[in-house]
Amino acid sequence: MNRFLWPLIAVAVLLGFLVLGLLHGDPRALPSPFIGKPAPQFELPTLKNPEVTIGSKNLAGDYAIVNVWATWCVMCRAEHGFLLDLAASKTIPIYGINWRDSRVEAIRWLDELGDPYIASAYDADGRVGIDWGVYGAPETFLLDPEGTVVYKHLGPLDPVIWQREFVARMGASGGASK
Amino acid sequence: MIPEIGQFALILALSLAICQAVLPLVGAHRGDAAMMNVGRSAAAGQFVFVAVAFACLTWSFIANDFSVLYVANHSQLSLPTIYRVSAVWGAHEGSLLLWIFILAAWTVAVARFSSGLPDAFAARVIGVLGFLSVGFLLFALLTSNPFDRLVPAPADGGDLNPLLQDPGLAIHPPLLYIGYVGFSVAFAFAIAAMISGDLDRRWAKWTRPWTTVAWMFLTLGIALGSWWAYYELGWGGWWFWDAVENASFMPWLIGTALIHSLAVTEKRGLFKSWTLLLAITAFSLSLLGTFLVRSGIIVSVHAFATDPTRGFFILTFLAVVVVGALVLYAWRAPALDSDVGFAPLSRETFLLLNNVLLVVATTLVLIGTLSPLIIEMATGGKISIGPPWFNVAFLVPMIPLVILLGMGMHAAWRTQAASPWLNTLKIPAIIAIILGVVIPLFGYGRISIMLVVGCAAAAWIVASALIPIIRSLRREKGTAGITRSALGMSIAHLGMGSFVIGATIVSAFGVESDRALQPGESIEVAGFEFHMKSLGNVQGPNFSAIEAEIEIRDDGEYVATVRPQKRQYLVQRSLMTEAGIHPGMDKDLFVALGDQLGNGAWSVRIQYKPLIRFIWLGALIMALGGLIAISDRRYRSTAKARDKVPLDSTKTAEAPA
Amino acid sequence: MKPRQQRMLAVGLAALGIAIAAGLTLRAFQDNMMFFVEVSDVVAGNYPSERNFRIGGLVVGGSIERQEGSLDISFEVTDTACTIPVVYSGVLPDLFREGQGVVAHGRMGDDEVFQADKILAKHDEDYMAPEVADSLSKHQQDIADAAVAGAAECRSNDS
């Protein structure tokens, strides 16, 4: 056989591996077992008013997003500006779950930086987080009007991700604005 | 408006690139001079429009136009202007535009400086480069458009990753890309030769300067990246065998083999198919590197966060380019074998060994980089292959290479008599053995086999490389001195020697120590005293920081004061460690702040790095050697006119040595 | 040397080089490869003894304990099903925080505590190492299923 074909053969094998590698999937794509299922039931005191509770019942009726955040979470700070813009545009109600945090610190954080949330639930020990399958902060869940989890995003939100992952899933209803 | 102009300019550039790709190749096939000449004009036009697009993107950054999505994601109102410019290439879409820009620039350079080449050949080279431009422009326009708009535009952007807000890292991508992309010229030269079926010593002579310039820039780019990682990542390492580092190192290794192989082809008309293959491989590795970094297939500290669609596009492009080139190779290479021979002891043999060893080294790096991925796909097990493996594996071909380096420089072409050669090598050998023992033992107080090998190798290379220079300085009046080509070679090899000694000493004698330190306290590391005088807050343009003032003394005598910082950037709120470094050719003293330990104490990492600067100095000297080599007389215009007349490639006339 | 002999020399050398490379790669798969072991597997006893390996997961909120003024630190790592205690002495990476993903190199001590000699967190936009995320994802499914059936359990080697 023409010995000059060896490089071609070697490259073909390598390319094969690389194709398989790509098909193997994006190492960053993480399926959540809760997608397509109703959001886990919960009821927690709100952050600012411990006597008032907030829970799954408040979330139904329209598209909503639930954002898991904490003051010790660096990336939450990074996405905060975007959340404020989103809240100001009145596109969609934003609920927060303040996860494994200090109530005092969290309230101070919102006072200092602005509060994009209709209300934040205070999940001190993280139990509700576990129920929701939270790995870390920030995480954001998209719920449809029936309260089913449509999508879960790990990591900070930005305009690109918002358009591509959230708006795209919200369909004709649920005021998606550009 | 401006972003739309930029986008339109890219589309125009694409149409010109298509002309540039198709017409000259067809013209060369038909012997149609008019069509062939289109190549040069199309290349110039493409360059202009790409430059316009690049300028539009840069303007969007400087003017803080956050209605452009790319700008919104990677810039910020408080970002200093200079970093607004470097942010242009700080992420995927912009760096891709930079790649396209540099490719267009190289093409124009080839068009401008190719008057000495036969028209058909030049046309084919420009055509191939045009084809590559088309691929990248399509990639940008279809999957990675930097001019996508964001509506409504946010009031402020997401900020440039603080790691990238640094002068060193600002220049690193341009330098690196000039190198990477420059290998496309050697690639185009190879394809052009294979299409026409003509590959002779003239071809090697034309290809050599282009390849050497690309290699020079790649050397500088890699060295800069290493230096940046050292002072910016905060932990004092200078090479991590990270996938992205390897992606730039593999083309460099093959590029080095290519320069040496081209020397043989130019001088003796040998190794033709080998040289072709190296030229194809060097650029293919550049493309592979791009793929690895941008496809998300390998997650790394440096990798751009991006999606698999882009990965498929690049992989397809890579496949088309490389498979196409290798098919041409399998078709043409068999006819290239030469009848000329060489003796076992000859320069050709040494260069052949050089090439084999560099290819083995590259293969090892490739295996180490891709194995974790392949193993995970095959068995599902997650493993990582890191510095422990690479450091050992890489030394296996490198140690023989370094030894042969000293010997090969003094071997003559075709055949070398043993006795005068051995005689020449006697003194370097003695110096090497002596210094191999003296440097570690008396310089640093410890000795081991690896230390002797490393120091002896460095001394061996340096002594051997100095011989041609010394001989030239001592020559009799009236006799010819050293040519620039040979001088460049000696200097480049001296650079290698500098690198080897730096790497050996810092690896063996570097000290790293994590300690707790409080203001007013002192600790001792590697014989130096580190005293924390104070700890306070400072403000930067877009960050606030805690800064420690640390005084270093040697036996009571004042050495320096360093100010390591822990910065918090205002927007991304990420923490960044700015190390405090006291540099020196003989050693670096390096202090980085860790975190608060309570009681006002902080953890600090202190490092003693002897001879570490010789590593980057070595790279600079190597690049300088390359520069000197290409300034040799034979590459200048007087010789060019002669090349226009086609040379019968079956002639085997000897060239002057 | 005739061309035929040159070619044989080149091929022979290349083969030798590749043989050495192959030898080294085999060696790598014993000595220098760093395995990633899930927290649940470690607790169940499936980990390489007598050598270093990596673990990864989330740092359990409230578990970080540090001796005042000392570099010694202890904390717990969880994959949401099981938890391991870790000790480490040294400078921590900037992104090390409760509730964040972390990867640790080291070995299991006799006292069932993981002695880490290196803690990794990355300076980039990803906020979790992929192996950690995969591992968590696997256990999350178990928990989601177990939540329907009862309580999620950490199955350990003894008891």
Ranges A33-47, A82-96, B118-132, C48-62, most confident = B118-132
Residues of B in contact with A12 (CB under 8 A): 323
Contacts of A66 (CB under 8 A, 6+ apart): A39, A59, A95, A96, A97, A132, A140, A141, A143
Residue C68 included in any domain: yes
Query: What integer pLDDT is reported at residue C32 of this predicted model?
Result: 60
Q: Is A72 on the interface with C (CB under 8 A)?
A: yes
- Selected for mutation to probe chain B from A19, A26, A30, A80 (highest B CB count within 10 Å) is A26
Same structural domain, C16 and C44:
no
The torsion defined by the Cα of C89, C93, C94 and C96, in degrees rounded to 10, comes to: -70
Query: What integer pLDDT is reported at residue C148 of this predicted model?
Result: 44
Query: What integer pLDDT is reported at residue B228 of this predicted model?
Result: 87
- B317 band by pLDDT with thresholds 50, 70 and 90: very high
Angle formed at CA B61 by CA B56 and CA B65, multiple of 5 degrees: 90
- B341 band by pLDDT with thresholds 50, 70 and 90: confident
Q: Which residue has the higher pLDDT, B278 or B475?
A: B278
A22/B308 CB distance under 8 A: yes
Asked if B411 and B346 touch (Cβ cutoff 8 Å), the reply is yes
Mean pLDDT of the residues in chain A: 80
Of C31, C111, A31, C38, residue with least CA distance to B391: C31
pLDDT at B613 over 90: yes
CB-defined contacts A:C, below 8 A: 62
Task: Give the residue from chain A lying closest to B284, CA to CA.
Answer: A11
Tokens encoding C35: 């395995």
The domain ranges of chain B are 1-160, 168-410, 411-509+615-623, 511-610
pLDDT at B14 over 90: yes
Query: What integer pLDDT is reported at residue A109 of this predicted model?
Result: 87
Residue B524, SS3? strand
Q: What is the ipTM of this complex?
A: 0.75
Mean pLDDT of the residues in chain B: 87
C1/B342 CB distance under 8 A: yes
CATH number at residue C105: 2.40.50.140
pLDDT at B650 over 50: no
pLDDT at B657 over 80: no
- C137 band by pLDDT with thresholds 50, 70 and 90: low
A72/C98 CB distance under 8 A: yes
- C74 band by pLDDT with thresholds 50, 70 and 90: very high
Asked if C57 and C98 touch (Cβ cutoff 8 Å), the reply is no
Q: Kindly give the pairing relationship between strand A119-123 and strand A94-99.
A: parallel
Picking from A11, A12, A20, the nearest residue to B377 by CB comes out as: A20
How close is the nearest chain B Cα to the Cα of C41, in Å? 13
Q: Is C60 on the interface with A (CB under 8 A)?
A: no
B333/A4 CB distance under 8 A: yes
Same structural domain, C74 and C2:
no
Q: Which residue has the higher pLDDT, A17 or B308?
A: A17
B603/C36 CB distance under 8 A: no
Residues of A in contact with B299 (CB under 8 A): 27-28
Give helix B387-408 / helix C3-28 axis angle, nearest 10°: 160
Quick: pLDDT tens for B82-94: 888 888 988 888 9
Query: What integer pLDDT is reported at residue B606 of this predicted model?
Result: 93
Quick: pLDDT tens for C89-101: 988 887 787 767 7
Q: What mean pLDDT do residues B45-60 have? A: 95
Number of structural domains in chain C: 2
Query: What integer pLDDT is reported at residue C138 of this predicted model?
Result: 63
How close is the nearest chain B Cα to the Cα of C157, in Å? 22
> Which region among B46-50, B264-268, C22-26, C69-73 has the lowest average model confidence (pLDDT)?
C22-26
In terms of Cβ atoms closer than 10 Å to its own Cβ (0-12, 13-18, 19+), residue B648 is: exposed
- A178 band by pLDDT with thresholds 50, 70 and 90: very low
C101/A136 CB distance under 8 A: yes
C125/B305 CB distance under 8 A: yes
A155/C58 CB distance under 8 A: no
C122/B341 CB distance under 8 A: no
Query: What integer pLDDT is reported at residue C4 of this predicted model?
Result: 66
Query: What integer pLDDT is reported at residue B98 of this predicted model?
Result: 95
Same structural domain, C7 and C79:
no
Residue C28 included in any domain: yes
pLDDT at B443 over 70: yes
Query: What integer pLDDT is reported at residue B384 of this predicted model?
Result: 77
A26/B295 CB distance under 8 A: no
Query: What integer pLDDT is reported at residue B302 of this predicted model?
Result: 44
A73/C80 CB distance under 8 A: no
Query: What integer pLDDT is reported at residue B410 of this predicted model?
Result: 93
Task: Give the residue from chain A lying closest to C133, CA to CA.
Answer: A30
A33/C97 CB distance under 8 A: no
Task: Give the residue from chain A lying closest to C94, CA to CA.
Answer: A74
Residue C116 included in any domain: yes
Residue C7 included in any domain: yes
Q: Is A25 on the interface with C (CB under 8 A)?
A: no
Task: Give the residue from chain C lying closest to A126, CA to CA.
Answer: C61
Contacts of A118 (CB under 8 A, 6+ apart): A93, A94, A95
Residue C75 included in any domain: yes
User: Chains touching chain C at 3 or more Cβ pairs under 8 angstroms?
Assistant: A, B
Q: Which backbone phi and psi does B513 adopt, to 5 degrees?
A: -140, 125
> Which region among A174-178, B100-104, B142-146, B370-374 has the lowest average model confidence (pLDDT)?
A174-178
Quick: pLDDT tens for B294-314: 776 665 434 444 566 777 888
Quick: pLDDT tens for A130-170: 678 776 678 899 998 888 888 888 777 878 788 888 888 88
Residues of B in contact with C126 (CB under 8 A): 299, 305
Quick: pLDDT tens for A83-142: 998 899 888 899 999 987 888 888 988 998 889 999 899 988 777 876 787 766 788 999
Picking from B392, B574, B595, the nearest residue to C92 by CB comes out as: B595
Global pTM value: 0.84
Picking from C58, C126, C145, the nearest residue to A135 by CB comes out as: C58
Residues of A in contact with B374 (CB under 8 A): 17, 21
Distance from C-alpha of B305 to C-alpha of B161, rounded to nearest angstrom: 12
Q: Is C15 on the interface with A (CB under 8 A)?
A: no
Quick: pLDDT tens for B236-294: 889 988 888 899 999 999 999 999 999 999 988 888 888 999 999 999 999 988 878 77
Tabulate helix, strand, coil % of chain B (nearest 5): 65, 10, 25
- Selected for mutation to probe chain C from A135, A158, A161 (highest C CB count within 10 Å) is A135
Query: What integer pLDDT is reported at residue B97 of this predicted model?
Result: 95
Same structural domain, C9 and C55:
no
Q: Which helix (H) or strand (E) holds B471?
A: helix B449-473
Tokens encoding A57: 């019942």
Task: Give the residue from chain B lying closest to C93, CA to CA.
Answer: B594
Same structural domain, C83 and C15:
no
Q: What mean pLDDT do residues B438-456 have? A: 92
Q: Is C91 on the interface with B (CB under 8 A)?
A: yes
Residue B47, CA distances (Å) to B5, B13, B120, B441 in order: 15, 7, 22, 57
pLDDT at B507 over 70: yes
pLDDT at C84 over 60: yes
Q: What mean pLDDT do residues C37-62 have? A: 82
Q: What mean pLDDT do residues B637-650 have? A: 45
- Selected for mutation to probe chain A from B66, B194, B362, B573 (highest A CB count within 10 Å) is B573
Picking from A27, A33, A136, the nearest residue to C99 by CB comes out as: A136
Q: Is C13 on the interface with B (CB under 8 A)?
A: yes
How close is the nearest chain C Cα to the Cα of A156, in Å? 9
The whole domain housing C112 covers 39-149
CB-defined contacts A:B, below 8 A: 90
Picking from C1, C3, C13, the nearest residue to B356 by CB comes out as: C13
- Tell me the residues of chain A between 132 and 151 that have a Cβ less than 8 Å away from chain C: 133, 135-137
C33/B353 CB distance under 8 A: no
Q: What mean pLDDT do residues B112-139 have? A: 92
Quick: pLDDT tens for B153-177: 766 766 677 777 788 878 888 999 9
Q: What mean pLDDT do residues C56-65 have? A: 80
Of B4, B5, B149, B9, residue with least CA distance to B70: B149
Residue B307, CA distances (Å) to B303, B364, B448 in order: 11, 28, 48
C69/B233 CB distance under 8 A: no
Q: Is A126 on the interface with C (CB under 8 A)?
A: yes
DSSP symbols for B184-252: HHHHHHHHHHHHHT---HHHHHHHHHHHHHHHHHHHHHHHHHHHHHHHHSSS--S----HHHHHHHHHH
Task: Give the residue from chain A lying closest to B66, CA to CA.
Answer: A159
Residue C157 included in any domain: no
> Which region among B554-568, B579-593, C124-138 has the lowest average model confidence (pLDDT)?
C124-138
C141/A33 CB distance under 8 A: yes
- B499 band by pLDDT with thresholds 50, 70 and 90: very high
Same structural domain, C134 and C111:
yes
CATH of domain A35-173: 3.40.30.10
Query: What integer pLDDT is reported at residue C123 of this predicted model?
Result: 42
Query: What integer pLDDT is reported at residue B19 of this predicted model?
Result: 94
Quick: pLDDT tens for B221-247: 999 999 988 888 767 889 988 888 899
Residues of C in contact with A73 (CB under 8 A): 97, 99-100
Residues of B in contact with A74 (CB under 8 A): 572-575
Asked if B298 and B344 touch (Cβ cutoff 8 Å), the reply is no
Picking from C61, C128, C141, the nearest residue to A100 by CB comes out as: C61
Same structural domain, C49 and C27:
no
How close is the nearest chain A Cα to the Cα of B321, in Å? 11
Query: What integer pLDDT is reported at residue B434 of this predicted model?
Result: 95
Residue A47, SS3? coil
Q: Is A38 on the interface with C (CB under 8 A)?
A: no
Longest dimension (CA), chain B: 83
